[in-house]
Amino acid sequence: MENDTHSAPRPLAFDPAARDLGVLVGFDGSQQSIQALHYGAMEAQRSGRRLTIVSAYSVPAPVATTIGAVPDKFEAQHSVVAAKALLDEARSYLQDYPGEVIYRTERGDPAGVLVDLSTVAELAVVGARGRGGFVGRLLGSVSSALPAHARCPTVVVARQYKITDAADPTRFEPVPDERPVIVGIDRSPHSRIAALQAAEQALNRGTVLHLLMALPTLEGWLDWYPGLDTPDQRIIDQRRLQLEESLAEEVAWLGRHYPSLTITAAVKPGDPVAQLSRSTHEAQLTVVGTRGRSGFTGVLLGSVSRGVLLRAAGPVMIVPELQDERLSDQPDLIR
């Protein structure tokens, strides 16, 4: 049997009761990891989950030209001490936090460590860039790799995320926010998994869930209908009506699973990346799947999810392909 190392992992069963780490936050002491720490603490408070803070360290291979050049302490000891010092910083920041917190140091590459731990976490949270980011780079290595490989939803906290300056336990209490949770929909099973996770977020936040479906512009029309040489406005309007009817079915399907949740929806003409990136300015959380209908086999992070992360002005949740029994009654896949 061929071993395709580039193929996506099989969908993982998502049982919150078996995910003991709760909200998992990667912390490296950078300003953006502090933002991620604050966001994760508020998220854990909102949902009543455990908060787990992880600092990863790696140990370079020892190189010494002479016996006298051998360091007096093993490199691993220095790395462990540094990782524990970072956790002390996180512990100091969370000194007034009222919930349960676990602090862990883990040996290994930070992205790899978080991917491994994501199998027993309900949510992973990281900053857009850490200490190792290059100047001018919009995404760091961890925030690029983790959403593509994580086995739980991942929130990447944008640089623009504001944290309160208050120095008491109330700073970790979620503040009322009327902005919606927005999720990108393309009628694929994968986007429906994202919609279910987005619905849970909207319910926990006491806000509206908004489903957004993009309709390609004329420039991208031939990607949808290669047999058409010159698509006219009449055909475009007809297709938009079809998509709006399809989206109404998506709303009805989600409503059956979340009857107390207010759900709105819209089909907007334009590029999906541009539409969803724009939504990050007006949503308290924007949710997308790792891949959609146009995803290539073996590509773990699709062009839309990557593009939204690069342009985001607010927190973005990337949802991997997960098993969910509620997909058994989903609307027809093709229309």
pLDDT digits 0-9 by tens, 27-73: 999 999 999 999 999 999 999 999 999 999 887 655 555 555 555 55
Question: In the predicted model, is pLDDT for residue 130 greater than 70?
Answer: no
Closest to 43 measured CA to CA, from 278, 201, 213: 201
Which residue carries 């912390």 as its tokens?
Answer: 27
What the block records as the tokens of 143 is 């925030």
In this prediction, residue 292 carries a pLDDT of 52
User: What's the DSSP call for residue 188?
Assistant: S
Residue 325 gets which letter from DSSP?
Answer: G
Phi and psi at residue 327, in whole multiples of 5°? -70, -10
Exposed (0-12), middle (13-18) or buried (19+): which is 86, by Cβ within 10 Å?
buried
Cα separation, 317 vs 309, whole angstroms = 9
Q: Per mean pLDDT, which range of 36-45, 101-110, 162-171, 280-289 is the poorest?
A: 162-171
Measured distance CA(286)–CA(290) in Å, rounded: 13
Closest CA relative to residue 54, chosen from 98, 15, 84: 84
Query: pLDDT digits over 156-208, tens only?
Result: 999 889 887 767 778 888 888 999 999 999 888 889 999 999 999 999 999 99
- Find all residues with CB under 8 Å of 106, minimum gap 6, and list them: 54, 55, 56, 57, 113, 117
**Is the pTM here over 0.75, yes or no?**
yes
Q: Which residue has the tokens 């927190």?
A: 315
**SS3 category, 104:** strand
pLDDT at 232 over 70: no
pLDDT band for position 298 (50/70/90)?
Answer: very low
Strand ordering across the sheet containing 209-215: 101-107, 51-57, 23-26, 123-127, 154-157, 316-319, 285-289, 181-184, 209-215, 263-269
Beta strand segments in the chain, E: 12-13, 23-26, 51-57, 101-107, 123-127, 154-157, 181-184, 209-215, 263-269, 285-289, 316-319, 322-323
DSSP string, 125-153: EEES--TTPPTT-SS-HHHHHHHHH-SS-
Mean pLDDT of 82-104: 94
Taking residues 139-161, report their average pLDDT: 88
Tell me which residue of 322, 327, 288 sits closest to 307, measured CA to CA.
288
